[in-house]
Amino acid sequence: MGDPNGFLTTQRLVAADRAPLERIRDWQEIHAALPGVDQERQGSRCMNCGIPFCQAGVLIKGAASGCPLHNLMPEWNDLIWRGQWHEAWLRLMKTNNFPEFTGRVCPAPCEGACTVGLNDPPVTIKANECAIIDRAWSEGWMQPQPPKRRSGKSVAIVGSGPAGLACADQLNKAGHQVVVYERADRPGGLLTYGIPNMKLDKTWVSRRVALMADAGIAFVTGCEVGRDLPMPQVRAAHDAVVLCGGATRPRDLSVPGRSLSGIHFAVDYLTASTRWLLDQQAKGRPSIDVRGLDVVVIGGGDTGTDCVATAIRQGCRSVRQLEIMPEAPAERRGDNPWPQWPAIKRTDYGQEEAIFISGADPRHYLTTALAFLDDGHGQVGGIETARVNWTPNSQGRMTPIPVPGSEQTLPAQRVLLAMGFLGPESTALDELQLARDAQSRVQTGDGSYQTSQAGIFAAGDMRRGQSLVVWAIQEGRAAARACDLYLSGTSLLPG
């Protein structure tokens, strides 16, 4: 920490996103970057804490406090302040395989736990991270690093989301021959199809995949293990398998009218949109299109926000977002102190854009959908909603109870269900008869990534349940170490 008073003398500064009016007209990233010298000054705000809570990555009350990857923020914050970008990059790469992803899409639990945040706005950790890795790419520091010595062992990785990619990257470093199987036409999993382009430009994903391929990792796309390729065959062809298939079963809403057409899962909608974008040569419209329609998104999370923003770009007539939870407070509540993840109201880019267009926040809090209304053609035309009260049920669990008389009907020709995911899909797992837990996640031993079958490992949402990209990378890295230990007896991979 070169400047012990930085946190007192320098204000937090992040680059403003591109203006809503401008950005909704295209699909380009909404992010902008600060000039390098300003970003460097932001590094000086880091206090180089005796206990950097930012890198702790511990669970407090179920939420991550600090970075699950244990990024070495105090080290690289200081380095960028010194203008030592190359060193900063080296320290960043020690813990994070894909900073260009987390630097864009991570909700940054690090900043929630940043000690500066006790009294002032926290250090711009996420922007600093993004600036470091973007510079590394632009300076040409990012070069394929094939291992100098191959182990002679091969590992199959099923799924190419962030967990799978991270796992592949690590195992390749350790010298194992890695094959990544992906059922979609492009690798990347949710990075490619789950997150819209304006949040994470797909160029970055393909650039990364290409780099990994150059380092010796094989990618097999359009191949669903368990369907296109039987699992036992995969197992037999490799010395180990790591399952990184994600938690892709979306949560549904079984209310009257669910079978009407025009009701889609958010992930399908977003996938369709991105595929249309990437396949620009196909022209035409996305397979799920909302142009000129009233859209209702059910679910107030990040995916819901992505749906809102996508719908706006597709030219919807209106967009509303139903959120069953109450509006979060503007500041931390007493029972949610630092360094816990701050449960505060955030107005994300999608809502910002909606507000910009319509003048009103699209979010309807404490609201549930009671029924989907038929437009007469088997197509959804509206939603009947009601306000809810959260009251304890007989077991004492808080449950949302509709308030009689609060019913309302909203126009909706398209409904997007963004209510989270239930767990992994079953096919490949059943084929192997892997042990699962009550939430249908793949069970692994305490603190290990080994499934109930030797040589088969699981990581990411498939093991952990639906979570953040940053957790997925962490899982992929840890599973890689477990797998390497299994294959080699020792491992120099960080855990």
Cβ(237)–Cβ(190) below 8 Å = no
Task: Give ∠ CA 424-319-351 in degrees, rounded to 5.
Answer: 80
For position 119 contacting another protein by CB under 8 A, the verdict is yes
The residue from 24, 72, 205, 312 that contacts another protein (CB under 8 A) is: 72
The residue from 64, 131, 458, 493 that contacts another protein (CB under 8 A) is: 493
For position 21 contacting another protein by CB under 8 A, the verdict is no
We find the least distance from the C-beta atom of residue 198 to another protein, in angstroms, to be 32
We find the least distance from the C-beta atom of residue 180 to another protein, in angstroms, to be 19
We find the least distance from the C-beta atom of residue 182 to another protein, in angstroms, to be 25
For position 474 contacting another protein by CB under 8 A, the verdict is no
Q: Is 280 exposed, middle or buried (0-12, 13-18, 19+ CB in 10 A)?
A: exposed
Choices 52-60, 285-293, 376-384, 409-417 (CB under 8 A): range interacting with another protein:
52-60
The residue from 47, 200, 205, 267 that contacts another protein (CB under 8 A) is: 47
Choices 90-98, 159-167, 193-201, 412-420 (CB under 8 A): range interacting with another protein:
90-98
For position 65 contacting another protein by CB under 8 A, the verdict is yes
The residue from 50, 359, 396, 404 that contacts another protein (CB under 8 A) is: 50
Closest to another protein by CB, 159 or 339: 339
Closest to another protein by CB, 113 or 386: 113
Separation in Å, CA 232 to CA 245, 308, 337? 16, 41, 49
The residue from 20, 43, 52, 196 that contacts another protein (CB under 8 A) is: 52
For position 38 contacting another protein by CB under 8 A, the verdict is no
Q: How many residues contact another protein, by CB under 8 A?
A: 49
We find the least distance from the C-beta atom of residue 12 to another protein, in angstroms, to be 14
Cβ(197)–Cβ(28) below 8 Å = yes
We find the least distance from the C-beta atom of residue 90 to another protein, in angstroms, to be 5
We find the least distance from the C-beta atom of residue 105 to another protein, in angstroms, to be 22
Choices 19-27, 82-90, 365-373, 386-394 (CB under 8 A): range interacting with another protein:
82-90
We find the least distance from the C-beta atom of residue 13 to another protein, in angstroms, to be 19
Closest to another protein by CB, 70 or 363: 70
The CA distance from 481 to 216, in Å, is 18
The CA distance from 36 to 48, in Å, is 21
Across-strand partners of 298? 322, 417
Helix 302-314 vs helix 349-358: crossing angle, to nearest 10:
40
Q: Which of residues 450-469 bind another protein (CB under 8 A)?
A: none
Q: Which of residues 131-190 bind another protein (CB under 8 A)?
A: 147-149, 173-175
Closest to another protein by CB, 94 or 249: 94
Cβ(41)–Cβ(89) below 8 Å = no
The residue from 20, 74, 99, 424 that contacts another protein (CB under 8 A) is: 74
- Which residues make up the interface to another protein (CB under 8 A)? 4-5, 7-8, 47-53, 55-58, 60, 65-66, 70, 72, 74-75, 82, 84, 87, 90-91, 93-95, 113, 115-116, 118-119, 147-149, 173-175, 337, 339-340, 490-494
